[in-house]
Amino acid sequence: MRAQTQVDPHLQAATVAVKKFQALRFTGTYDDLLQSKEYRSATRFFLEELYSDKDYSLRDAQFARIAGALQTFFPQQVVATAVSLAQLHVLTEELDHQMALAWTGSNSGMEAHDAASYIDAWNAVGQHEERKRQLAVVLTVGQELDRLTRTPGLRLMLKMMRRPAMAANLDSLQTFLESGFDTFAGMSGKGQRALEFLSIIRTRESVWIERLFAGDAVTSETALQACLGKAR
């Protein structure tokens, strides 16, 4: 999918627009959490590592290169987290690719602030169940990262893996693991705050999924424009 996108300028522009729009929507949806002391770091982590418009191909390539060795060098909990992350990237890329194809197939522009075009592409793609599954996998990644913080000795192991990871050109995957661990470990309440945070994500994202599939384009566009206004 990435190779196909790279050779088609229009598809590439649409893909960038879709991802940028979604990152802005996420920023606006969680504007309050981004400004809160308790949830700022976790929200920023989700925005930068899971909902971002940045290119994850390097991290995916690094994961693919060591996938067979994960079970040998890492605890089972880390393996499960890495697998969930890979599954999330596959599903997200598939949905974004379909959205971009729908976007290029319309007469719409490629602006990342074009809420109407986004809604049209969303409904052209459909995939209601896959959208819900995408959210479920996002939450699974968060839950597994939270569980990792309670694995004895894991933070020390991650620190010890830093230099070998850099030597093996696995720094992107290493950074994700360390950042995720520290983000969830930094929440107070022995996991309770993490559960509250993930519950907020589940509730708000579920609302957006149902709102965009509701068929009321005017209401959906108004809500999206208000959300984008917060993100600016």
Q: Where are the chain's structural domains?
A: 2-231
Give the model's pLDDT for residue 87. 86
CB-based burial label for 168 (10 Å; 0-12, 13-18, 19+):
middle
Q: Residues 16-59: pLDDT tens digits? A: 889 889 999 999 999 999 999 889 999 999 888 887 777 777 77
Banded model confidence at residue 108, pLDDT cuts 50, 70, 90: low
**pLDDT value at position 183?**
87
Between the CA of residue 98 and those of 9, 23, 153, 163, 206, what are the distances in Å?
Answer: 16, 17, 42, 39, 20
Cβ atoms of 74 and 120 closer than 8 Å: no
The tens digit of pLDDT for each residue in 195-224 reads 999 999 999 999 999 999 987 778 888 888
Residue 64 has pLDDT above 80, yes or no: no
Mean pLDDT confidence for 138-160 = 85
- Residue 145 and residue 201: Cα distance in Å, rounded? 15
